[in-house]
Structure 1
Amino acid sequence: MAVEKLTEKPIVNIVRVEIVTEEDSPKTYRFDTASEATYAPVVSEGEEKVLRIKNTILATNKTEDIQYGSDLNFTQVVMVPEVLAIVDGGTLNTTGELESKKITGYTPPVVGAPVNRVKFTTKIYTEEKDGDGETLGYQCFAFKGCKGKPVSFTFKDGEFMAPAYTVSSRVKKGTVPYNLDFLEELPA
């Protein structure tokens, strides 16, 4: 029996998160203030039927669990209005143009009406560390077909406000739920 040597990658930190819109003119929104992120597969659970007569199992008919999407949750340590608008689905209120553009507020979607949120790709970059603490490389976890859900906030006296984002990733049948790339350098 052959024994294969395994590759071990100690992964730590959220170095960067990117939201890349999937519109005709895609835009990338890059931030390094995400403090926590979770990924959970969304699964259609299979069934298991057992043909049992008295104390004997004659047969089992089983269907497998099938993943059909992913849910991401991440928390930021600062407010980024542009990300809030994409994930939550509302509108930024601004004045000025280009370099003099200033965000003056945010209008969330109205209650009781459907929201047409923009599709985007979420990319989460992490680091691989060596025993001496030096960075050996990076990982990019990319989730396509994302749409945001209403955003939640945590307010606590003496604590910085932390927006929490929930994102659903649903891709076409026959597509992988995410991509994982091992990188030597972070993209510029």
Structure 2
Amino acid sequence: MVRLTRIYTRTGDDGTTGLVDASRVSKADARLHAIGEVDEANCAIGLAVLPADDVIAEALRRIQHDLFDLGADLATPGRQDGALRIVPAQVARLEAEIDAMNARLDPLTSFVLPGGSPAAAALHLARAVTRRAERAAVAAGGLNPAALAYLNRLSDWLFVAARLANDAGALDVLWRPGATRSSD
């Protein structure tokens, strides 16, 4: 496991950081941008745990571990034996959980605005941040396809979990197209 005896190393003072293979890259590198976006998604999920019910909170904590794995995956350029990788089984688990949660919801009749309950609002924010992390990972290029699929599926998972947190969709705020246009 990881053992950190010092938090600062000063090795990044020149604007570079180290990857798993010991190579150094600019902190402005697209791969580092993607790692940072995944970290931010993980932080947003950490906030979403606070108002979540026990079942969703437990799942979110597991997802946080997956996102650390995903960050390690992103920090490992190329395919290396023994490297920690997101695997298709993790994507399949998210899909099965989405299907199980969605089975408890009525079908949508409109797009859903972020909000409703505090738990749902936090999950919607985590979903939006996860979508941004996915875009950054795609922009970085050359990454593990399962990691990209995981981010894509995770945003769907967060959306469905937000609907559940909104009293199984009863508190969903539905989009009303043109609702604020003047009547002129």
- Kindly indicate which of the two structures has a greater share of residues assigned to strand: 1
TM-score in same-fold range (> 0.5): no
TM-score (norm 1): 0.21
Hey, which of these two has a bigger chunk of helix by percent? Answer: 2
Structure ID, larger Rg: 1
